[in-house]
Amino acid sequence: MISRRVLMGGAAGAIGVGALAWVYRNEIIRWRITSARNEEAVITDALSADAELCRLTPAQDEGPYFVRAPVRRDIREDRTGIPFDLTLKIVQADGCTPVENALVEIWHCDNAGRYSAYPEDMSRSPYDTFRLVATNAVDGHVPPFNDKTYLRGAQATDIDGLVAFKTILPGWYDPRVPHIHVKVFADEKSLLTTQLYFPDEFTDRVYTTHADYKPYGRCPYSALNDTVIGMYPDASGLMLRPQETQTGLAASALLGIS
């Protein structure tokens, strides 16, 4: 017969393990995600906006934090970080015809991993992020918590299919690799939902040396373990390679729609 002392000791041990797991819940989730391997992931450089060829841009997850954005070119508001000029060209993948008057929306986190319109204390708390989505999302979308709009913007393409945004280089948050969300609309119909990424060696260098990013360190996620790329392994043509300019950084991408 098991003694009462043994039972109580076992119960106390279980409670202790549970309490320890709760205290380190974010570290445990981060470890599990970074231990994964996206064996089928394919991520290649984006075509530049002045490329003479085109291809269909693969879709990526919209994510839970999409909110219709104000029409504007400069989306920085009060956010600090490296100035980043992003030019996008929207074309028909079949024939490379520029798409005029398409509405292009972008949104991304700030240097500390915070999204406007949502709680700003979860950027390093993957458990809380997953819990927020699990308890609030409707069809994958979490309703906004406030009316903040930093690092969100929309523009209509010109006759050449071009839009240009002034923003900052995004930081990172748990549990995602650094990225920029993009949606393309025509007459309120969504034509493309995707994400743009950055080379690990580039973000590692910036996040460990630049004053606006250094407090948050390098990102532990990459294309090899990112949860979204794991679900959407075709990320061909979605890698931006920013170049230094006199004012900061710049990059462009040609996005093909059907």
Give domain limits for the chain.
36-257
Q: Please, what CATH class does the domain formed by 36-257 belong to?
A: mainly beta
Distance CA 141, CA 71 (A): 21
Encode pLDDT of 190-239 as tens digits.
Answer: 999 999 999 999 999 999 999 999 999 999 999 989 999 999 999 999 99
What are the start-end ranges of the E strands in the chain?
A: 42-45, 83-92, 103-107, 152-156, 162-168, 179-186, 189-197, 234-239, 243-244, 249-257
Measured CA to CA, the distance from residue 209 to residue 51 in angstroms comes to: 32
Residue 17 has pLDDT above 70, yes or no: no
pTM: 0.91
pLDDT the model gives residue 4? 52
Residue 3 is predicted with a pLDDT of 55
Q: What is the mean pLDDT of residues 157-170?
A: 98
- Pairing state between β 42-45 and 234-239: parallel
* 215 phi and psi angles, rounded to 5 deg: -60, -20
Query: Look-up: residue for tokens 């993948």?
Result: 93
* Span 68-91, pLDDT tens digits: 999 999 999 999 999 999 999 999
